[in-house]
Chain A
Amino acid sequence: MIISCPHCGLRDSSEFYFRGEAPTPRPDYEEGNVAFADHVYGRINPAGPQKEHWYHAAGCRSWLLVERDTRTHDFLSVTLASEQGR
């Protein structure tokens, strides 16, 4: 897989670290265990486009928010996570 990093251009995916599906926002403390368990462990795990975090470890060391199709491994968009606020 080739990932197009906004800073570094086209790079081999082996330069990147995969963090996983972009999580839901952190719940409020009051919402309790079940809400936190869902935040930490619950996954949509879609067969299709998925929003996920990658880290360009062997490059610019930026966190990226990526949309990728899990059925084809096609990268649909790659943006800087910092510019998306997460």
Chain B
Amino acid sequence: MERQRYSLFTLARHALTGHRGWKPAWRDAAPKERYDVIVIGGGGHGLATAYYLARNFGITNVAVIEKGWIGGGNAGRNTTIVRSNYLLPGNIPFYEHSLKLWEGLEQDLNYNAMVSQRGILNLCHSDEQRDAFERRGNAMRLQGVDADLLDPAEVRRMAPFLDFDNARFPIFGGLLQKRAGTARHDGVVWGFARGASDRGVDIIQNCEVTGFVRDAGGRVTGVETSRGKILTGKVGMAVAGNTSRVASFADLRLPIESHVLQAFVSEGLKPVIPGVITFGAGHFYISQSDKGGLVFGGDLDGYNSYAQRGNLSIVEDVCEEAMAIMPMVGRARVLRSWGGIMDMTLDGSPIIDRTPVPGLYLNGGWCYGGFKATPASGWCFAHLLARDEPHPVAASYRLDRFASGQLIDEKGAGAQANLQ
């Protein structure tokens, strides 16, 4: 397929011919008999992995195998927040690498992913929480990440509509990361798909992996799919909420639980919310899409689920939290809500590692924060698949850390997936 570059010039040219000349952005391929690498899962992570395998390592005989349509999983269901405001050494370099990749992504992909660095403001509601935020901000700065601690007056200048003197949750200030923001989820999926496809990667849709092909020594040498057997040298899993399910085909038992997370969008409003704002006395976050809808969410429903829909008690809970910090949103009508299945690890941090099964590699455990990780996750997983050794910024995301005790537990919640 002929490679098309997008620019102001091509846009003008196609405008003059009534936009009838655009070609598909990527190739919908049929499976070949054999690939050097197979990536399972056509979400953001799987497609980014294939893109960087081709771009960074010249490995182009690659297939991304997706059981539905690309971007139909969590990549298409998330609230699109990108940030690197982490606390622990294992996490900060990885998420900062990701944010740096976001900053140059559109030029690299020649695709508009609508990356918008509108900032994230985490509100604090007590002295103790402000101390904790100060610690987090300092940890970020020590690793070269931007962080600003705001006092209530500075928060008021940014977001005068907040309920500063709420009787239960008064606002004591906030931690601001200016370089954080949002991106367009479909744009990210399509941008990586196009970049990978242009370099020769096969994107195979409506093809569900149902098992692994293994040789006498137990090595994975291919996948069984709904469209037949496909052979390969290496298999990388990037199936998010379905990680345990796919891993069970190789008899692996992982430190992962699948949970449902809901999100909500209101009717379109004029610009009112600058950036992303989070409520510190519970779990609530909100931003405004370019179309004007308020995009918001809160906690997991709290019980294991593969159902991609949640229950009403969380709807009530999320709306109560919204009213506790910005009562003005009570006038807006909720348009839609939906759910996605999170691969929750038992320390809240992801896994990018080999597995005990030769030839099988694991990328998973992204919990509810994997969208922001998309570029770096692909970058590091491609490195692992190509070189058979971890990328330095992802070296802590080992599968055996649960046995060795080197957990990366940002929240200190213990082995309880629904609290991470």
* Bitwise interface map of A from 12 to 28 toward B, beta carbon under 8 Å scored 1, else 0: 11100010110000000
Nearest CB of chain B from residue A4's CB, rounded to whole Å = 16
Nearest CB of chain A from residue B163's CB, rounded to whole Å = 25
* Bitwise interface map of B from 255 to 273 toward A, beta carbon under 8 Å scored 1, else 0: 1111000000000000000
Residues of chain B from 271 to 308 with CB closer than 8 A to chain A in the complex: 302-307
A37 CB within 8 Å of chain B? yes
B346 CB within 8 Å of chain A? yes
CB neighbours of A40 from chain B (8 A): 346, 402, 415
From the candidates B248, B402, B417, name the one contacting A20 in the complex (CB within 8 A): B417
Chief secondary structure at chain A's binding surface: mixed
* Bitwise interface map of B from 158 to 187 toward A, beta carbon under 8 Å scored 1, else 0: 000000000000000000000000000000
Q: With A33-B403, A37-B403, A47-B245 given, is the CB distance from A21 to B257 under 8 Å?
A: yes
User: B305–A70 contact, CB under 8 A?
Assistant: yes
CB neighbours of B255 from chain A (8 A): 41-43
* Bitwise interface map of B from 400 to 420 toward A, beta carbon under 8 Å scored 1, else 0: 001110000000000111100
User: A41–B304 contact, CB under 8 A?
Assistant: no
Q: Give the CA-CA distance A33 to B258 in the complex, in Å.
A: 25
Q: With A14-B313, A18-B418, A72-B307 given, is the CB distance from A45 to B257 under 8 Å?
A: yes
User: A20–B254 contact, CB under 8 A?
Assistant: no
CB neighbours of B258 from chain A (8 A): 45, 47, 70
CB neighbours of B248 from chain A (8 A): 44
A7 CB within 8 Å of chain B? no
CB neighbours of A38 from chain B (8 A): 253, 403
CB neighbours of B302 from chain A (8 A): 18
Q: Give the CA-CA distance A71 to B303 in the complex, in Å.
A: 12
Residues of chain B from 220 to 264 with CB closer than 8 A to chain A in the complex: 242, 244-245, 248, 253-258
Q: Give the CA-CA distance A47 to B244 in the complex, in Å.
A: 9
Nearest CB of chain B from residue A25's CB, rounded to whole Å = 15
CB neighbours of B313 from chain A (8 A): 12-14
Q: Give the CA-CA distance A58 to B218 in the complex, in Å.
A: 50
Q: How many contacting A-B pairs (Cβ < 8 A)? A: 72
| Total interface residues in chain B, CB < 8 Å | 26
Of chain A, the residue at the smallest CB distance from B314 is A14
| Total interface residues in chain A, CB < 8 Å | 26
User: A70–B403 contact, CB under 8 A?
Assistant: no
Chief secondary structure at chain B's binding surface: mixed
Of chain A, the residue at the smallest CB distance from B308 is A71
Residue among B248, B303, B403, B404 with max Cβ neighbours from chain A (10 Å): B303
CB neighbours of B305 from chain A (8 A): 70, 73
User: A70–B346 contact, CB under 8 A?
Assistant: no
Q: With A42-B255, A43-B244 given, is the CB distance from A52 to B304 under 8 Å?
A: yes
User: B307–A18 contact, CB under 8 A?
Assistant: no
CB neighbours of B311 from chain A (8 A): 1, 13, 73
Of chain A, the residue at the smallest CB distance from B255 is A41
CB neighbours of B257 from chain A (8 A): 20-21, 43, 45
Nearest CB of chain A from residue B311's CB, rounded to whole Å = 6
User: B254–A43 contact, CB under 8 A?
Assistant: yes
From the candidates B245, B307, B402, B418, name the one contacting A41 in the complex (CB within 8 A): B402
Q: Give the CA-CA distance A18 to B300 in the complex, in Å.
A: 12
Residues of chain A from 39 to 86 with CB closer than 8 A to chain B in the complex: 40-47, 50, 52, 68, 70-73
User: A43–B245 contact, CB under 8 A?
Assistant: no
Nearest CB of chain A from residue B183's CB, rounded to whole Å = 29
User: A18–B402 contact, CB under 8 A?
Assistant: no
Nearest CB of chain B from residue A44's CB, rounded to whole Å = 7
**Sample of 15 further A-B pairs with CB below 8 A, known A34-B403, A45-B245:** A1-B311, A14-B313, A20-B416, A20-B418, A21-B257, A33-B404, A38-B403, A40-B346, A42-B253, A42-B255, A43-B253, A43-B257, A43-B346, A52-B304, A70-B307
Q: Residues of B at under 8 Å CB distance from A?
A: 242, 244-245, 248, 253-258, 302-307, 311, 313, 346, 402-404, 415-418
Q: Residues of A at under 8 Å CB distance from B?
A: 1, 12-14, 18, 20-21, 33-34, 37-38, 40-47, 50, 52, 68, 70-73
- 28 CB < 8 A contacts A-B: A13-B303, A13-B313, A14-B313, A18-B418, A20-B257, A20-B304, A20-B417, A33-B403, A34-B403, A38-B253, A40-B415, A41-B402, A42-B255, A43-B244, A43-B253, A43-B254, A43-B257, A43-B346, A44-B244, A45-B257, A45-B304, A46-B244, A47-B242, A68-B303, A70-B258, A70-B305, A71-B306, A73-B303
The 6 closest A-B pairs by CB, nearest first: A45-B244, A37-B403, A41-B255, A41-B402, A47-B306, A18-B303
